[in-house]
Structure 1
Amino acid sequence: MLRVLIVDDEPPARQRLRKLLEPLVASGRLTLLEEAADGFEALAKLHQQPFDLLLLDVRMPELDGFEVLERIDPDRRPFVVFTTAYDDYALKAFEAHAIDYLLKPVNQERLQEAISRVEHWQAAALRKAQEERLSQLLDWLESQQRAAGPPTPVPEGGYLQQLSIPYRDRILIVPVERLVSAEIHHGITRLYVLEEDTHARLHQHLVGYTLDQLEARLDPQAFMRVHRSAIVQLRHIRELVPWFSGRYKLLLTGNHEVIASRERSKLLKDRLVL
């Protein structure tokens, strides 16, 4: 019997899955059916109690489905079935790594097939095989992102030396050396900047540009995209702490923490460790 967590930011999608799963609850194949409206709520529920299966939406604001997976301890990670509206190319990637998926709008027959497959995995104790397939998928996604285009040329006028940051009724001019990290939270770009005349206290600023726009203007010798949702300044990394699935947690100036993706963790270690 499976304990299931539905993770999707769209209420109609969660309601549809719950309705399709009700016969399986009635038949005793499912013993628990919970919902989460975003990645952070999903992580909180996974921390509170164990689940056997995640029905996990791929595209969600702030934390997408892949970022949720990266933050789950592999020893406690449930079986995963993606719910996705990806195109055929992405679906082939899922198939190549033997990860099941449900193409939206989900239909009853396809859902039953996915549940049966998970029940087989559970009975055959194939968690280690699934973990390896998930790790391969996450690595594939990172490699595709890095190979998506040619290296960004040096912008006209050179790399940024200072940042213009709206603050209350003024604009702050901040030397780029004080930028510790830039991150996406709740769909908003946030800059973590050292306060003037201090080596420890960070101030958070909200800005209107994207990480892609910022990355194109920052010197790649000084900054690195360590995750799809985070850029850090290398000189502000104080420690690399081994994390789950071959990733590193970065301890930055001001006791700030950022978790690097598995693929970027490898690149980061190559850059920083002799």
Structure 2
Amino acid sequence: MDDEPSAIEGLAIRLAAFPEVRIIGQASTVDEALALINQCAPDLVFLDIEMPGKSGFELVKQLQPEICPAVVFVTAFHHYAVQAFEVRALDYLLKPVKTERLAEAIARVSDNLYRPASKQQLLAAVDQLQQREQQITPGIEPDYSIHQDKLVIQDGHQPVQLVPYSDILWIDAAGDYMCVHTGDATFVMRARMKSLIQQTLPANFLRIHKSTIVNLLHINSLEPLNNSEYHATLSNNKTLKVSRTFSRELKTRLSPNKPAG
């Protein structure tokens, strides 16, 4: 995924020389890339960091943990900065991409295809890279707190964000990181799902998957799947999977005949 057609074409030409690689889609924006990933569930994504409107980091934040592909970052950043990715077992390519370096990256991905980096690793790498780029040492203060009807998020190297609970559509977890999604932005904070559910979020938030919390007020419809699972469609047309473990409680909470508590 890249914002420059010539860069996409050049990378595609180089990738064509590798029989183990099959290109199933190309995108020039984060929104296009996210739609392709959700539709095609690729094993590997070549992702540019600098893209129009939203960065490649924003795409990482929006990936659902259950379908997170392996990622090779494509960047013009200097080598010292991208060392942050190396310690997370990720790979990167510096522009202009050289065929020999591309071959190394593909070989590395092939060796780790069935144990690719998790979303937690990707977020940790992004966090580390951004801190090194800005020469900021993270503090020891909590990264979130409660403020009346808003979630207060302190992301270490970003301004404090006050996000109204009513604006939050869903939250997904990646280890020590939580991605808080509104209709037009995603915020990352360090927190545990259990802590958020039990101590922070209001009652209209419900866990629907081992890694996903949804705001019930933003669910528009439920589509039944196999094995008592569902797809929940939100007010922004985002679709989330509801696992069998949590489907019964979700249906109960959404039922118009539910007795008043």
Q: Deviations over 1:146-191 (max 9, x none)?
A: 863899xxxxxxxxxxxxxxxxxxxxxxxxxxxx99xxxxxxxxxx
- Give the Cα–Cα distance (whole angstroms) in 2 for the partners of residues 147 and 265 of structure 1: 26
- Give the Cα–Cα distance (whole angstroms) in 1 for the partners of residues 52 and 102 of structure 2: 24
In the alignment, which of 244, 248, 253 is matched to residue 173 of structure 2? 244
Q: Deviations over 1:59-90 (max 9, x none)?
A: 11222111111100122111110111111221
Please show how residues 1-274 of structure 1 align to structure 2 within 5 Å.
7-24=1-18, 28-122=19-113, 125-127=114-116, 129-141=117-129, 143-144=131-132, 148=136, 232-233=161-162, 236-238=164-166, 241-245=170-174, 246-249=177-180, 258-263=185-190, 273=200
- Give the Cα–Cα distance (whole angstroms) in 1 for the partners of residues 99 and 181 of structure 2: 43
- Give the Cα–Cα distance (whole angstroms) in 2 for the partners of residues 238 and 33 of structure 1: 37
- Give the Cα–Cα distance (whole angstroms) in 2 for the partners of residues 228 and 60 of structure 1: 21
AA in 2 matched with 1:8: D
Q: CA-atom RMSD, angstroms?
A: 3.8
Deviation of 1:133 (Å)? 3.0
AA in 1 matched with 2:54: L
Q: Taking structure 1 as reference, are residues 20 and 263 closer, same or farther at Cα in structure 2, changes over 3 Å only? A: same
Contact in 2 for aligned 1:57/1:82 (Cα 8 Å): yes
Contact in 2 for aligned 1:139/1:263 (Cα 8 Å): no
Q: Taking structure 1 as reference, are residues 147 and 46 closer, same or farther at Cα in structure 2, changes over 3 Å only? A: same
Sequence identity percentage: 30
- Give the Cα–Cα distance (whole angstroms) in 2 for the partners of residues 249 and 51 of structure 1: 24
- Give the Cα–Cα distance (whole angstroms) in 1 for the partners of residues 68 and 122 of structure 2: 10
Q: SS at the partner of 1:261?
A: strand
Q: SS at the partner of 2:23?
A: strand
Any stretches of 5+ residues in structure 1 without a counterpart?
1-6, 152-179, 182-221
TM-score, normalised to structure 2's length? 0.58
Q: Larger RCO: Structure 1 or Structure 2 (Cα < 8 Å, ≥ 6 residues apart)?
A: 1
**Richer in strand (by share):** 1
- Give the Cα–Cα distance (whole angstroms) in 2 for the partners of residues 229 and 45 of structure 1: 29
Query: For structure 1, which segment, 69-78 or 239-248, has the greater mean C-alpha deviation from structure 2 after superposition?
Result: 239-248
Q: SS at the partner of 1:40?
A: helix
AA in 2 matched with 1:148: I
AA in 1 matched with 2:23: L
- Give the Cα–Cα distance (whole angstroms) in 1 for the partners of residues 46 and 85 of structure 2: 14
Aligned positions, number = 186
Q: Taking structure 1 as reference, are residues 51 and 147 closer, same or farther at Cα in structure 2, changes over 3 Å only? A: same
Q: SS at the partner of 2:53?
A: coil
AA in 1 matched with 2:136: A
Deviation of 1:56 (Å)? 0.5
Q: SS at the partner of 1:106?
A: coil
What corresponds to 2:214 in structure 1?
A: none
- Give the Cα–Cα distance (whole angstroms) in 2 for the partners of residues 250 and 51 of structure 1: 23
- Give the Cα–Cα distance (whole angstroms) in 2 for the partners of residues 17 and 228 of structure 1: 33
